[in-house]
Amino acid sequence: MAQDDPVVSAQWLQRHLGQPDIKVLDASWHMPQESRDPWQEYKVAHIPGALFFDIDGIADRMTDLPHMLPSAEAFAAAVSALGIRNHDKVIVYDSKGFYSAPRVWWMFRILGHNEVWVLDGGLPQWQASGYNLGSNCPEDAILKSKAANTAVETTYNGELESAATFQTEFQPQLLWTLEKVKHNVAAQTHQVVDARSRGRFDGIEPEPRKGVRSGHIPGTKNVPFPEMFDGAPKLLPADELSKKFEQAGAL
């Protein structure tokens, strides 16, 4: 399992599940209009031993924007509360296959933890492979997930109770600020890719969030993220992914 490979298979995870240094996170998240509760869904069915990672809770508490990247201190406190250490291998999945799990993969990477992978095909692929689901949620798992959210809140309130056992190292090259994106509109030194649907990109479909205009940032190329996967959904081979970006004019 190489660090430069972003995914692991359901078969790999099934073979290694339960090992002390393998930590599995359910990072499921749904758009508000779907009226689905990922926390309740996790408690009903999840990969055995998985903990719930709350994208809305482990987030920046200093902005009204949804699930923005938390501070390094808040992330370290939350991940420590989940019982994850720097030597652990973290496997992230979500209930749709490839939706919100890559976001959490990026959060770990940008804060210096490279031992992280997305489960290829997520929970649907795990189920399609015939592997068992956990239907009972141990009290310890519930307490850890809630403690992670509390740790973020106490960190932002300046009330951190104990030293974090998970250490972070921020990787600034993996983050672009609004100011940097605005500068690039004129400078065009980098190619920005929009992963939303073509309708939203072209401004002919409404945005799912109220008050957000449709359309795209000038100079952006559109590569809709569902086109990155097969019907499973599993990530396409690297050469096929390259063709998608070439066809969109993004390479």
DSSP 228: G
Radius of gyration of the chain (CA): 19
Q: Is 245 exposed, middle or buried (0-12, 13-18, 19+ CB in 10 A)?
A: middle
Confidence of residue 2 (pLDDT cuts 50, 70, 90): low
Residue 51 — φ and ψ, nearest 5°? -105, 155
How far, in Å, CA of 93 to CA of 142, rounded?
18
How far, in Å, CA of 74 to CA of 61, rounded?
10
pLDDT for 135:
85
Between β-strands 221-222 and 193-194, what pairing exists: parallel, antiparallel or unpaired? parallel
Domains within the chain, CATH numbers bracketed? 7-157 (3.40.250.10), 178-248 (3.40.250.10)
How far, in Å, CA of 151 to CA of 95, rounded?
25
Q: Which pTM does this prediction carry?
A: 0.94
Q: What is the pLDDT of residues 155-174, one digit of tens each?
A: 999 986 677 899 999 999 99
| Closest CA relative to residue 93, chosen from 129, 136, 62, 60 | 129
Q: What is the pLDDT of residues 98-156, one digit of tens each?
A: 999 999 999 999 999 999 999 999 999 999 999 999 988 889 999 999 999 999 999 99
DSSP 208: S
pLDDT for 210:
84
